Amino acid sequence: MVSVTDTELASDLVVHAARLVRAVRRELELPAGTRIISLLDEHGQLGITQLADLDRCSQPTMSAAVAQLVESGWVSKAPNPADARGTVVTLSDSGRAELGRVRRLHGERVAALVDAHPDLTTEDLATAVAVLRGILQEGTP
């Protein structure tokens, strides 16, 4: 049974994780397309509509964003073999390299924040990662 304390702590985890992500993104001023290439890395090739649903935006908004990513070389578009009216978007090697660069920057910044905090340790960071990974692990109800 989930206690009130567990619920409050879980709520705090979500609030603070979201705040951390926003703060790091704001500070690093990363390209907007990072979110989309991250979705493609997580889910594999997707159609525009699927990407828009995952990103909670409109199809026209996603189409414009994908066009910019194609132009930058981070993704490619091809006809959807299952639906001639649609296309599939695939993360390119260049996009995967950019995503790796962005993730390294995120990691460096968060590691520096932990290092600068007198009461936090590498073990604390490992525990936080284990908790989030466990919650998000595939197959978890």
Output b/e per residue, 30-61; b: 16+ Cβ within 10 A: beebbebbbbbeeeebbbbebbbebeeeeeee
What Rg do the C-alpha atoms of the chain give, in angstroms? Answer: 18
**Mean pLDDT within 47-67:** 95
**Structure tokens that stand for 119 in this block:** 């009461």
Q: What share of the chain has pLDDT > 90, as a percent? A: 70
Look-up of token digits 């964003």? 65
Give pTM, 2 decimals: 0.82
Beta-strand pair 75-80/46-47: unpaired
Annotate 42-69 with DSSP letters as a single string. Answer: HH-SEEHHHHHHHHTS-HHHHHHHHHHH
Q: Is 95 exposed, middle or buried (0-12, 13-18, 19+ CB in 10 A)?
A: buried
Per-residue pLDDT at 31:
77
Residues 79-129: tens digit of each pLDDT: 988 888 889 999 999 999 999 999 999 999 999 999 999 999 989 999 999
What pLDDT, in 10s, does the model give residues 4-36?
Answer: 788 999 899 999 999 998 888 888 888 779 999
